[in-house]
Every structure is written in structure tokens, then in C-alpha cells.
A and B are shown apart, each in its own frame.
Chain A
């Protein structure tokens, strides 16, 4: 996986590119993970 801080629609956020090539906001990816810690 790869993460990148970049501008989309004028705002800068961290984006993650998954193994299958899907790109999404890293914060959204975190919200989909099982809660650990």
C-alpha cells in the first residue's frame, strides 16, 4: 500500500492506494478497519 499527501478539490489530505489499485482517503480506510489499540 502507498500513502500520499495531496490536493484533491482544493484540500490537502492523506490518500491511500490499496493493493488492488483502489484509492481512498486514509481516514476513511482507518474507519473501515477493526478497532485495535
Chain B
């Protein structure tokens, strides 16, 4: 078959504009007020999931915490999205996490793509203007796809089309978008079994800014 045409359902696997970011180096007061060392690009007054390192506040585990910001640097860290209960801080400084962290994970059910199906991923990250790298790494299974890595650009979008090539285990991954791209252009991922589609965030410098602003992941199955 030279080309494909005709109707096909487009299934939204996942979409969200609830922001998720890596908390840059800062301090959390005993009343749960966080003061980030570097301003975010906007005031997330509606809330944002921020990743804090272990012991960022009293005996805390590393992970994402729901934070409602009152400015671009200050906000309240809560025990959950709905508890209304602030965490207890230590008044000591923590260092922002610089390890790759999974922000989003969606299951691509085995066989759902089909031998000629496609996945479309649109993502946007906001960052600050510094020499440090801020990276969003999408992955299918254990294979990283093209990466969005920004330094001085504040707003970075990426669009990736991953298509099975008349096979459930051979793909082409194509991109349009800004910043630099690494990753795999010719993945070989077994889509006949369940695979996770993940979006991962990495700050190279603990004082920088990285927020996953929104994303849309679509499935276009094709036999």
C-alpha cells in the first residue's frame, strides 16, 4: 500500500493543562509556604504539581506535591489536591531536583495502535532564560522519543508523530517544533503489548525553571 486514506477514529488518550513542574531551589516555612529561589513564568494561582526532593520539608518523601501559588515565587504546599491541609515545613533550604522525573504516564493498550496506526503527541514546556538545559523527554515504553531541550527560550512546543510501519513493532517517529531534538527516529517498540507513553522532566541546574504546561496525546488506530 503506497498511502493510507479514509476515515479513522481519533481517540484522545490523554490531555491536560494542569501544570506540572520541578520545584527549583527554595525554602518551605513551617506553615507550608514555599519560597522558590527563581520566579516561575506566571503565578499558578489555580495550582501546580511541583516535584520536591526528599526532606524538602519535615521528613517528606520525594515527589509531586499540590502547590497553590500566590506569586511567581511564593505559594502553599498541600498534602493533597483536596485536603486543604498545608504541609509542615522545616524553614531550611532544599536543593531543586536534577534527576529525570516522570510527570505523565498513559497506557497505550496492546494492539490498539494496529500495524499502521499513529500516535500524535503535542507538548509545551515553559522555562527561564539561562544556559542550563531544561528537558522534556517523551517516551514510548523504555524508548525515548525526540526530546525538547531548551536553554534560553521561555516557551517551547513539540509535536511528535509516531507511526507503525505496516508492523506492530517497527515505527517512524517524526517531529516539528523548536529547540534541539535527540531521541530515536526509528523506534522498534512492540505495540502488540501494553506500553506506557510517558513525559519526563529534567532540570540540569537546580535553580532553573521547568514546567510542563499542557499536552495532548491522540491515538489514530489503523489496521
Residues of A within 8 A of B (CB): 1-3, 5, 7-14, 16, 26-27, 30, 33-34, 36-37
Annotate B92-126 by CB proximity to A: 1 below 8 A, 0 otherwise: 00000001111001110000000000000000000
Question: How many pairs, one residue from A and one from B, have CB atoms within 8 Å of each other in the complex?
Answer: 70
- B142 interface residue (CB < 8 Å to A): yes
Do A3 and B49 contact each other (CB < 8 Å), given the known contacts A8-B61, A10-B60, A11-B61?
no
Give, as a whole number of angstroms, the nearest-CB distance from A3 to chain B: 4
Q: Judge whether A26 and B65 touch: CB under 8 Å.
A: no
Question: What class of interface size applies to chain B in its complex with A?
Answer: 20 to 34
B61 contacts which chain A residues (CB < 8 A)?
Answer: 8-11
Do A11 and B63 contact each other (CB < 8 Å), given the known contacts A3-B105, A36-B184?
yes
Per a CB cutoff under 8 Å, which of B65, B142, B145, B182 touches A12? Answer: B65
Report the separation of the CA atoms of residues A2 and B196 in the bound assembly, to the nearest whole angstrom. 8
Q: Judge whether B107 and A2 touch: CB under 8 Å.
A: yes
Contacts A/B (CB < 8 Å), 6 sampled: A3-B107, A11-B64, A12-B49, A13-B102, A27-B101, A37-B139
- Known A26-B198, A30-B200; further 20 A-B contacts with Cβ < 8 A: A1-B107, A1-B196, A2-B194, A3-B105, A3-B198, A10-B61, A10-B63, A10-B87, A11-B63, A12-B49, A12-B66, A13-B62, A13-B64, A14-B198, A26-B105, A27-B101, A30-B142, A30-B198, A34-B142, A36-B142
Report the separation of the CA atoms of residues A2 and B105 in the bound assembly, to the nearest whole angstrom. 10
Q: Judge whether B139 and A26 touch: CB under 8 Å.
A: no
A8 contacts which chain B residues (CB < 8 A)?
Answer: 61, 63
Name which residue of chain B comes closest to A15, CB basis.
B105
B196 contacts which chain A residues (CB < 8 A)?
Answer: 1, 3, 16, 26
